[in-house]
Amino acid sequence: MEVSDSVLEHLCQVTALPDLTGTRYELEAEIGRGGMGVVYAARDRELDRRVALKVLEVPLSGEAQLISRLEHPGIVPIFESGTLADGRSFYAMKLVGGARLDQYAAGEHTLSESLRVIRRVGEALAFAHSRGVIHRDLKPQNIMIGEFGEVYVMDWGVEAVAGTAGFRAPEATLDKLSDIYSLGALLKFLLSSPAAPALAAVGQKAMNSDPRARYTSLTALLADIDRFEQGQAVEAWSEPVWHRVKRFAVRNAVLLWLLVAYTFVKFLLFFWRKS
Amino acid sequence: MNKIVVGLIFGVVLGALDGATAWFYPETRPVIGGILIGSSFKGMLVGILSGWFARKVHSTGWGIAVGSALGLLFAFLVAFMDAKSGKPHYLEIMLPGFVVGAIVGFLTQRMGSPAVAKSGAQ
């Protein structure tokens, strides 16, 4: 008996579906696919809520335990982990509605909104670093922007992943400074062209091929972004004098205009009196 | 440093500088000392009141408006007292006083620590 390609394909798809027997979940649909496994939308029958189920092709090597230690608004919480009837490992986590960062970036956004996203990602990363966890594979596809603008960093600490070209640091061994490189790459990804020189310098410093020349911590990188937003000088850029004067004038425009007004009034009165 | 102190300092300094510009009018040089003292005192009052306002209302626009109004008011009082002693100089005193008041109002909004909220706990 011959089986058509479409039937064969369907059979393959069906057999690849996770066997959720014995769990409290009902499968709904596949929502994503990565190097380590497949993510499905599912329904938690006991709590009557939708969750995301990540079914791993490799044994659970501590990824779920890793993430469960990271309780932070920017990190997707893990609800449960275990082994399916078919032997595959899984973990259930919050189902995040919204869009991936690469999809979000395709739309129109102000610089302020883009920097807000970077700041949220940086805060989640900084928290993880404080708990000894490194992401290793930060890229737009691993950032979710929720329906209400909340930012989530996903796919944490998977050692087997070699990173993604364009966002992976050049060094062989990945560490916290590699995550800083990746955040700099995300910043560059989100910035429109041409970017403000100060902001471009922040990205370049974060993405320096020499890890020792990068920011020493995410806090330092985020502080520079804050300084940029407040109209202050950033540490990453030795701005020329004319730019410093221009920045001063912009930050103190009202005061300068008042001083000009005072000088004008004084001159006016002086010459009026003389005449 | 709280906003009232900021207002006081800037009010005195800017008031003194404003009074010092009277030196460019030779006829005022004999009484420049009195002008400096009066102008500094006027600036101090404007600064203190602007600083007090800045602790209550956080708005650069309103700060400038209130500072200008205070500067204009106190400058008018000075000009009125000056007018009694001879030739009036309302414009020369009030117009700069108005702008100096605006500057002090702006500075008290931007600088100094705001008022600390009192705890409701008993």
Q: Measured between CA atoms, how close is B116 to chain A, in angstroms?
A: 23
The reported pLDDT for the residue numbered B20 is: 93
Give the pLDDT band (50/70/90) at residue B119.
Answer: low
By Cβ distance, the residue of B96, B99, B106 closest to A254 is: B106
Distance CA A208, CA A28 (A): 44
pLDDT score of A146 more than 80: yes
The minimum CA-CA distance between B97 and chain A, rounded to whole Å, is: 9
Nearest by Cα to B42 from B21, B10, B84, B11:
B11
Q: Would you place residue B73 in the very low, low, confident or very high pLDDT band (cuts 50, 70, 90)? A: very high
Q: Does A270 touch chain B (CB under 8 A)?
A: yes
Digit-coded pLDDT (tens) for A193-205: 778 899 999 999 9
B6 near A CB under 8 A: no
**CATH architecture designation of domain A99-239:** Orthogonal Bundle (1.10)
pLDDT tens per residue across span A166-184: 899 998 888 999 999 999 9
How many Å lie between the alpha carbon of A228 and the closest alpha carbon of chain B? 19
Residues B63, A257, B71, B37, CA torsion sign: positive
Alpha-carbon distance of A212 to A256, in angstroms, equals 41
Q: How far is CA B72 from the centre of its chain?
A: 9
> What pLDDT does residue A211 have?
94
Q: What ipTM did this prediction achieve? A: 0.88
Alpha carbon distance A57, A39 (integer Å): 11
Burial of B119 (0-12, 13-18, 19+ CB in 10 A): exposed
Mean pLDDT of all residues belonging to chain A: 88
Is B64 close to A254, i.e. CB distance below 8 A? Answer: yes
Asked whether the beta carbons of residue A269 and residue B64 sit closer than 8 angstroms, the reply is no
R_g (Cα) of chain B, nearest Å = 16
- CB-based contact A20:A42 (threshold 8 Å): yes
Which of B60, B91, B103 is the closest to A262 by Cβ? B103
**Distances from the Cα of A40 to the Cαs of A20, A95, B38, in angstroms?**
11, 9, 78
Query: Whole-model pTM?
Result: 0.74
Number of C-beta neighbours around residue A88 at 10 A: 17
A224 is catalytic: no
- Say how many CA atoms lie within 13 Å of A68 toward its Cβ: 11
B52 phi and psi, to 5 degrees?
-60, -45
Q: Domain boundaries in chain A?
A: 5-94, 99-239, 243-274
B103 with A266: Cβ contact below 8 A = no
Are B94 and B75 in contact by the 8 Å Cβ rule? The answer is yes
The whole-chain average pLDDT of chain B stands at 90
- Owner of token pair 């008996």: A1
CATH architecture of the domain with range A5-94: 2-Layer Sandwich (3.30)
| d(C-alpha A219, C-alpha A208), whole Å | 17
Options A137, A155, A179, A224, the catalytic residue: A137
